[in-house]
């Protein structure tokens, strides 16, 4: 039997309440001191752990201090600096290209509009939503692999398309929880709802999850 939207909304409220209680300190795990540093770290985080990104950016952010530093750097040297994050050549070109556009078209300031952000090289909706939600305080929702997997398990979506999932979840979850929800779900995915071995018996969402294995 298909679940009605009203029932999904009620279940979503309970899910968020339980996650807030279980992970009160959930937050972005990327280290940064400016919006441009967050942009760089987020680009680096694609297909890479946040832990590895934070190791790399510790030295990277000492070497490159401003959007101009990235925009006019030697891209092969930048690629070497971020090598351990994977896809280093592509990410270096994205970071340099985005930085150059920020310097030349946005007065060195990372834009705060979705349409402008996704026009930056290497920036898609996931990165744009991270910038908007984390730094600019815009209610937005980041759909990463944890969100795709766990929201499917919870029956809030049946899609694997991040953009479609984003809009489906925004229609179900309270707007004030959009930014925080991703961090809560990431923490839950790392601690309990692990991809290869979900610990359903320990899960606080067990009674609310149609995929729970008891």
Instruction: Give per-residue pLDDT as tens, 30-50.
Output: 999 999 999 999 999 999 999
pLDDT at 214: 72
- Active-site amino acid positions: 126, 144
CA 58 to chain centre: 20
Please give the Cα distance from 104 to 108 (Å, whole number). Answer: 7
- Cα–Cα–Cα angle for 23, 84, 39, rounded to 5 degrees: 55
Q: What is the mean pLDDT of residues 41-69?
A: 97
Region of 108 (left: φ > 0; alpha: ψ -120 to 50; beta: rest) is left
Instruction: Give pLDDT tens digits for 121-150.
Output: 999 999 999 999 999 999 999 999 999 999
Burial class (CB in 10 A: 0-12, 13-18, 19+), 206: middle
Q: Rounded to the nearest 5°, which phi and psi values hold at 7?
A: -70, -40
What b/e string do you get for 149-181 counting C-beta neighbours within 10 Å, with b at 16 or more? Answer: bbbebbebbeeeebeebbebbeebbeeebbbbb
What b/e string do you get for 30-57 counting C-beta neighbours within 10 Å, with b at 16 or more? Answer: bebeebbbbbbbbbbbbebebeebbebb
pLDDT at 213: 85
Query: Of 19, 125, 106, which is closest to residue 67 (Cα–Cα)?
Result: 106
Paired tokens of 168? 């489906």
**What's the pTM?**
0.94
pLDDT at 14: 98
Query: Of 114, 122, 112, 47, which is closest to residue 85 (Cα–Cα)?
Result: 47
Per-chain mean pLDDT for the chain: 97
pLDDT at 161: 97
Burial class (CB in 10 A: 0-12, 13-18, 19+), 64: buried
Instruction: Give pLDDT tens digits for 169-208.
Output: 999 999 999 999 999 999 999 999 999 999 999 999 999 9
| Segment (H or E) for 183 | helix 178-191
pLDDT at 1: 67
């Amino acid at each position: 039997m298909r679940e009605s939207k009203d029932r999904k909304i009620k279940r979503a409220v309970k899910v968020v309440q339980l996650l807030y209680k279980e992970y009160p300190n959930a937050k972005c795990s990327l280290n940064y001191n400016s919006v441009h540093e967050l942009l760089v770290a987020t680009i680096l985080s694609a297909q890479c752990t946040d832990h590895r990104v934070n190791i790399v950016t510790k030295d990277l952010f000492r070497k490159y201090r401003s959007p101009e530093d990235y925009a006019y750097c030697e891209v092969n040297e930048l690629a070497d600096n971020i090598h351990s994050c994977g896809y280093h050549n592509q990410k270096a070109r994205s970071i340099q290209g985005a930085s150059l556009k920020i310097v030349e078209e946005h007065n060195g300031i990372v834009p705060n509009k979705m349409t402008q952000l996704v026009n930056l090289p290497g920036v898609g909706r996931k990165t744009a939503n991270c910038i908007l939600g984390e730094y600019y305080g815009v209610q937005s929702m980041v759909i990463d692999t944890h969100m795709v997997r766990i929201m499917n398990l919870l029956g809030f979506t049946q899609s694997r398309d991040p953009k479609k999932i984003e809009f489906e979840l925004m229609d179900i979850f309270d707007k004030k929880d959009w930014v925080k929800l991703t961090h809560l779900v990431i923490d839950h995915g790392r601690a309990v709802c692990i991809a290869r071995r979900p610990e359903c018996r320990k899960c606080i969402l067990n009674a609310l999850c149609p995929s729970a294995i008891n």
